[in-house]
Amino acid sequence: MEIGIGKVAQPLTLTLNDIKGRQKQNVIYTLECSGNHGFPTFIGAIGTAKWSGTPLASILEEAGILKDGIEVVFFGSDEGEEEVRKIQMRQNFARSLSITEAMRPDNLLCYEMNDAPLPKGNGFPVRLIVPGWYGIANA
């Protein structure tokens, strides 16, 4: 995981073991997809779990966000193709949070779900958990 391809004083590259070696925190959180509208074609995209990982804020503090930094962008490992102006482009899912929102102490880089390693379908090896936000912000 790379931290700081932009407005940071000290870019970091962290392995999963580096993240696991930091302070561990838990949160019980219900994750719901913003598209969970109840139509027969898409229903049930909601679940509650115990998420465990390290606080994001301490890693961002270590990287040293510069004064002119305005947001933190999180890229998922999932890929797809998207047509942009009639050109097919490979894209990774990405989501951003303002610096203020990203620095909230309850945001976690999670590597466990319900006391077990994070399953691939839930973001293995690491998933950002942002309590209070729809699932789309939990890249």
d(CA 77, CA 55): 20
d(CA 110, CA 70): 24
Statement: the pTM of the whole predicted model exceeds 0.85: no
For residue 37, pLDDT beyond 90: no
Q: Percent of the chain, pLDDT > 90?
A: 48
Provide mean pLDDT across the span 51-80: 91
Q: Which residues contact 139 (CB under 8 A, 6 or more apart)?
A: 74, 75, 76, 93, 94, 95, 123, 127, 128
> Which range of residues forms the domain containing residue 23?
2-137
pLDDT for residue 104: 95
d(CA 133, CA 74): 14
Provide mean pLDDT across the span 34-50: 74
Q: What are phi and psi of 119, to 5 degrees?
A: -70, 155
| Domain containing residue 76: CATH number | 3.90.420.10
Tally the domains of the chain. 1
Name the pLDDT band for 112 (thresholds 50, 70, 90): very high
SS3 63: helix
